[in-house]
Amino acid sequence: MLAVKFDSKKVVLADVPAPSGSGVRVKVRACGICGSDVTILDSGFPIFGIPGHEIAGELEDGTPVAIEPFDPCGCCRYCLGGDHQVCVKGNEMIYGVGRNGGMAEEIVVPAERLVPLPRGLDATTGFLVEPLAVAVHGVRRAGIDGSMRVLVVGGGTIGLSAVAAATAAHAQVDLVARHPAQIAAGRQLGAEIVESGQEGDYDVVLDCAGTASATAASCEALRSNGRLLMLASSWDKIELPGLIVAEKEIDIVISTMYGRAGMSRDVDVAATILGHREEVSDALISHRFPLSQAPEAFEKSRDREGGAIKIALEP
C-alpha cells in the first residue's frame, strides 16, 4: 500500500506492506497534517515509521470512524484515573510517532481506539476529531464555562479548535489571530476578533501560539487570579513574565492530548461538537490533497499567509 515516510528531513512516498496483527482494520479516508508533524519532519526527530495522528476512515462494512491515536497500557495509575495521555508508555503508544500512523491507505488499531462519528458526519471530515479533542481536553482542564470571558491567542488549528470548544461551553470568546484566513475562520466559529487582549480583562487565556511574546501577552490580558492555559505544543523552553505572574497570582494549567472524565472521552465530546456544528469543518479545512501529493501538501501547510489552516491527505 501507499504510505508517507520521513527520510532525511524530506517527505517521501513508499510502497509498504499492508498492516497486520490484532485489532480492527480501518481504510483511511483522511489524515490531517499537524504542526507537530512538520516540526518532527524539520527536526529529524525519530519516529517509528509512518507519520500521522489525525486519522479517520471506514470499517470494512463502511461505518465511518475517527481514531483516538494512542494505545496506552490501561493499567498504570494514570490510565486507571482516565489520564491515558500521560500513560507510562510515553511516545511509544502514539500512532504516527511510536507506531505507524495514518498517512497511509490502511491502519489497524484496537477496537477501543475507535471513535463513532455522529450521523451525517463522514470520515473525510472526521479526522478533525483529534485536534478538536486537544482543545476539548484543555477547556475541561481549565474549567471553562458560560460565566467566563475567554481569550484565545493564536489562530492556527489548535487556536481555532479552542474557539470552537470554548464557544461550545458557552463562554464569551475573543481571538487574537495574524492571518486573514484565520481571522475569517475565527469569526465563523463565533469569536470576536481583537488585536490584543485588554489588560486584566479575562478569566482564562489560552496560549495557542507557544512563543514567549504570546505567553507574556496572555499573562497581561488575565485578571488577577485568572488562569493561563498552555495549549500550544512547545518544543523549547516555556518563558513566563515572572513579575506579572506573581502580582496577579495567575494559575497556570498545562494540557496535552486528551483523556477521559469518568465515562466521557474527550474524543467523543469532540465528535459531538463536530457533528452538531458544520461551521467547524468549513472553518478549519482549507485544503485537501491526495495522498500521492503528500510532499506538496506538507509545503502548502507552511503557507499561513496564503490561507493554509488544516491540510487533509486523502488516500
Joined grid coordinates for residue 121: 458526519
Same domain, 21 and 45: yes
- The pLDDT tens digits for 255-280 are 999 999 988 999 999 999 999 999 99
**Is residue 291 a part of any domain in this protein?**
yes
Cβ-count burial of 263 within 10 angstroms (0-12 exposed, 13-18 middle, 19+ buried)?
exposed
Does 264 map to a domain? no
User: Do 102 and 17 reside in the same domain of the chain?
Assistant: yes
Q: How many domains does the chain have?
A: 2
Give residue 278's pLDDT: 92
Instruction: Based on the fold, state whether residues 150 and 249 are members of the same structural domain.
Output: yes
224 and 293, same domain (yes or no)? no
Is the same domain home to 182 and 291? no
Q: Are residues 123 and 139 in the same domain?
A: no
* Residue 259 within any structural domain of the chain: no
Residues 146 and 204 in one domain: yes
CB atoms within 10 A of CB 191: 27
28 plus 76 within the same structural domain = yes
C-alpha dist (Å) from residue 208 to 45, 162, 247, 267: 22, 8, 23, 19
CA distances from 194 to 58, 138, 142 (A): 40, 22, 22
pTM exceeds 0.75, yes or no: yes
188 domain residue, yes or no = yes
Q: Report percent pLDDT > 90 for the chain.
A: 88
Cα atoms found within 13 Å of the Cα of residue 231, Cβ hemisphere only: 38
- 263 found inside a domain: no
Answer whether 134's CB lies under 8 Å from 231's CB. yes
- Domain harbouring 297, CATH code: 3.90.180.10
Which pLDDT tens digit goes with each residue over 32-64?
A: 999 999 999 999 888 989 999 999 999 999 999
Q: Please indicate, yes or no, if residue 269 is contained in any of the structural domains.
A: no
Residue 100 and residue 140 in one domain: no
- Report the CATH number at residue 199: 3.40.50.720
Res 197 pLDDT > 70: no
Domain coverage including residue 90: 2-127+277-314
Average pLDDT, the chain: 94
Asked if the model's pLDDT at residue 141 lies above 90, the reply is yes
Calpha distance 85→254 (Å, rounded) = 12
Regarding beta strands 64-67 and 106-109, do their DSSP bridges make them parallel or antiparallel, or are they unpaired? unpaired
From the number of C-beta atoms within 10 Å of its C-beta (0-12, 13-18, 19+), residue 216 rates as middle
| Sequence-distant (≥ 6) Cβ neighbours of residue 131 within 8 angstroms | 32, 34, 54, 157, 158, 161, 284, 310
CB of 1 closer than 8 Å to CB of 104: yes
Residue 234 lies in a domain: yes
Domain assignment present for residue 265? The answer is: no
Q: What are phi and psi of 156, to 5 degrees?
A: -75, -170
- Using CA of residue 208, residue 210, residue 213, residue 215, what is the dihedral sign? positive
Same domain, 76 and 159: no
Tens-digit pLDDT profile for residues 85-137: 999 999 999 999 999 999 999 999 999 999 999 999 999 999 999 999 999 99
Say if residue 122 is in the same domain as residue 138.
no
Please give the pLDDT value at position 212: 87
Do residue 292 and residue 178 come from a single domain? no
